Amino acid sequence: MRVYPEKPQKVYYFGTCLVDMMYPEAGMAGIKLIQREGVKVIFPPRQTCCGQPAYNSGFPDEARTVARKQIELFPENYPIVVPSGSCAGMMRHHYPKLFANDPDSERAINFSKKIYELSEFLVHVLDVKLEDRGDPIKVTWHSSCHALREMRTTEDSKLLIRSLKNVNLIELQNETECCGFGGTFAIKQPAISAAMVKDKTDDIRQTGSARFISGDCGCLMNISGAMQHDKIQIDGQHLAEFIWERINDTPSAG
């Protein structure tokens, strides 16, 4: 298992492009959850995307240019917290490979060592204690494949949900299976992707949950999009936003 540092005074926050465009409230909630523990959050304003879309689509040069830019923007030796298992996985596990034969190889490796997914940071570094102030609710959890198999932070996320006393977490039957997003996979193989997300929405429905929670906005966008398309009334929500809502009993962090 990973060795975690002591609680730091400052952290960097890498918001991710999908959070920036589609789920900014979730990004903001993540920041507030860290600030709440007395840690200063620094958000380098010129940050954009981790580079994963191009990296997975056959365009490594383009991915490297964008990745190099991000590495430059986070120069200090602070932990970099990322509210996404997939983007964190890219930066932690794939940057060293992406820069393997590059003059910036060592910088990329050092950068990757600073990366933490939000849940693991909240649990292992900040040791957060959550007081649930919301009404009783039944929810389910969907893990992104990269949170599960690269960052291995799924248990941390579920631990956070379970620590909320009025929240009843019902696990999916097929929790470890991909929702079919896969970035450009959803565009390049739309029919296979659709078959996968259909099974995921069915699995979510059979839990009888009012909401499904995930730590990754790609999955959220995919599953919620499919549910809206099929007129299924179950909301998807990012874990950070859900937690912020529960501990403040307010619906918004923005």
Partner 1 sequence: MTHHQQVDFDDNVSRALNDTQLIKNIKAAMGTLVSKRKTIFSNEAETEQLRTLGNALKQKALSKLPQLLEQLEEKCTQNGIKVHWAETTSEANHQVLEIMRSHGATRLVKGKSMVSEEMELNAFLQKNGIEALETDLGEFIIQLNHEKPAHIIVPAIHKNKDQISKIFHEKIPNTPYTEDVAELTAIARKTLRKKFYEAEVGLSGVNFAVAETGTLCLVENEGNGRMCTTVPGVHIALMGLEKVVEKLEDLPPLLRLLTGSATGQLITTYVNMITTARKQGEKDGPKEVHLIILDNGRSQIFADPDRRQTLQCIRCGTCLSHCPVYNRIGGHAYGYTYPGPIGKILNPQVEGLKAAGVLATASSLCNACEEVCPVKIQIPDLIRRIRNESYSKDPASTMEGHGYKRNLLETLTWMIWEKTNTYPIINAVGLKILSVLGITLPKIGPLKNWTRYRARPELAPKSLHELVKHHGVDHE
Beta strands 80-82 and 10-13 are parallel
The contact pattern for partner 1, residues 54-93, with x = CB under 8 A and - = no contact, is xxxxxxx-x--xx--x------x-----------------
> At closest approach, how far in Å is the CB of 168 from partner 1?
27
The kind and range of the H/E element at 198 are helix 190-206
Q: How many CB atoms lie within 10 A of CB 171?
A: 11
Contact assessment for residue 16 and residue 49, using Cβ atoms and an 8 Å cutoff: yes
Determine if 193 is a binding residue for partner 1 (CB under 8 A).
yes
> At closest approach, how far in Å is the CB of 61 from partner 1?
8
Task: Tell me, by CB under 8 A, how many residues bind partner 1.
Answer: 71
Encoded tokens for 244: 């912020």
> What is the C-alpha separation between 173 and 170, in angstroms, rounded?
9
Interacting residue with partner 1 among 116, 125, 140, 150 (CB under 8 A): 150
114 in helix, strand or coil? coil
Determine if 37 is a binding residue for partner 1 (CB under 8 A).
no
Taking CB under 8 A as the criterion, which residues in 101-140 touch partner 1? none
Taking CB under 8 A as the criterion, which residues in 7-26 touch partner 1? 13, 15, 17, 19-25
> At closest approach, how far in Å is the CB of 23 from partner 1?
7
Determine if 180 is a binding residue for partner 1 (CB under 8 A).
yes
Residue number, 4 or 185, with CB nearest to partner 1: 185
Please return the burial class of 236, using the count of CB atoms within 10 Å of its CB with bins 0-12, 13-18 and 19+: buried
Q: Which stretch binds partner 1 (CB under 8 A): 109-117, 144-152, 154-162, 240-248?
A: 144-152
Contact assessment for residue 35 and residue 13, using Cβ atoms and an 8 Å cutoff: no
DSSP-assigned beta bridge partners for residue 137 = 167
Determine if 149 is a binding residue for partner 1 (CB under 8 A).
yes
